[in-house]
Chains A and B, each alone.
Chain A
């Protein structure tokens, strides 16, 4: 059995970067509201990429590792993409909450305060705390997506086919004198 470690990082980087960008974009990023769809989907895609590059059979553990890495990469990319789009996203979220409030929904107490505090400049400490929390969350959801991806995209190894038996007929030409020496 091939015990070599699969190359997790490249597929995680590729799929994580795409998932992170999509998560950071206004409106499109809202798909994450359905159980981190971009992250879970990105992790499943990373498994598919890994399966293409790995000759040995992948296991659910490989899916968990590449999925968790994809989630962490996506969290970092998402945080970076969100910085320039922050004011736009906050405005959009405020409009959305106003709409939800008009539709008769009960808003959580203090949500206005949350928007006001978020509208100011973000400190490096809060940015790092947010990045850490998002990374942890996305790593868990990514691991889940990677494991499900193994179940969906990777074929289970079948029974090894035994090699054909050697030919029973001896070679037609007998060994020459040079071979006997």
Chain B
């Protein structure tokens, strides 16, 4: 596959991911805004959408318009970090042939969140929402470097396989 084709695939994956992340973050803020305005039906639906991926304990959520966000502080940090990582990706990696970060780098950025989370579960300390959000943010920034690389590679592989199949079922073979 040519470098131009790879570049096109990576750019498309990046754009779709950026759009999806923007919608995801907007929904997180939209839920309390709607709840604060009295549109409880729509707010309930958004809170329900996020319930499989977050505990939504009100005491661990940032407030907006007097209502808790649709996810907790740590999850908000992860998604905000993911958005920041997407912006970084554009400048660090560009849209060339993607490569995954090393396992060591992944473990390194996971460490603060893992230590904070584990200590919380074991009751060693209770970190404020800001610290939870910060450790989540650090972890979230590396995730787009995996996601964009992997999804682009999957799409490129699919395209290569389709091209190979078309070649073997060429015009001469009916």
Interface residues of A (CB under 8 A from B): 3, 5, 30, 32-36, 59-65, 100-101, 103-111, 113-114, 133-134, 137-138, 141, 143-144, 146-148, 150-152
Q: A141 CB to closest chain B CB, in angstroms?
A: 7
> Contacting A108 at CB < 8 Å: which of B67, B150, B155?
B67
* A109 to B57 Cα, complex, angstroms: 14
Q: B115 CB to closest chain A CB, in angstroms?
A: 14
Known contacts A109-B35, A114-B48, A147-B146: A33-B53 contact under CB 8 Å? yes
CB-based closest 4 A-B pairs = A110-B40, A147-B150, A105-B58, A61-B153
Known contacts A147-B149, A148-B146, A150-B100: A108-B59 contact under CB 8 Å? no
* A146 to B68 Cα, complex, angstroms: 32
Known contacts A32-B52, A105-B58, A151-B100: A60-B146 contact under CB 8 Å? yes
* A137 to B143 Cα, complex, angstroms: 16
Q: A113 near B151 (CB under 8 angstroms)?
A: no
How many pairs of residues, A versus B, come closer than 8 Å at their CB atoms?
A: 120
Chain B residues within 8 Å of A62, by CB: 154, 157
Interface centre among A33, A105, A108, A146 (most CB of B within 10 A): A108
Query: Which secondary structure dominates chain A's binding surface?
Result: helix
Chain A residues within 8 Å of B58, by CB: 100-101, 105-108
Chain B residues within 8 Å of A151, by CB: 100-103, 106, 146
Chain A residues within 8 Å of B161, by CB: 3, 5
Q: What are 30 contact pairs spanning A and B, CB under 8 A? A: A3-B161, A33-B54, A33-B72, A34-B117, A36-B53, A59-B153, A60-B153, A61-B154, A61-B156, A62-B154, A62-B157, A64-B154, A105-B57, A105-B59, A106-B63, A106-B66, A107-B68, A108-B31, A108-B58, A108-B67, A114-B44, A114-B48, A134-B52, A144-B146, A144-B150, A147-B100, A147-B147, A150-B100, A150-B150, A152-B106
In chain A, what residue has the closest Cβ to B79? A35
Q: A111 near B153 (CB under 8 angstroms)?
A: no
Q: B72 CB to closest chain A CB, in angstroms?
A: 8
* A70 to B93 Cα, complex, angstroms: 28
Q: A100 near B106 (CB under 8 angstroms)?
A: no
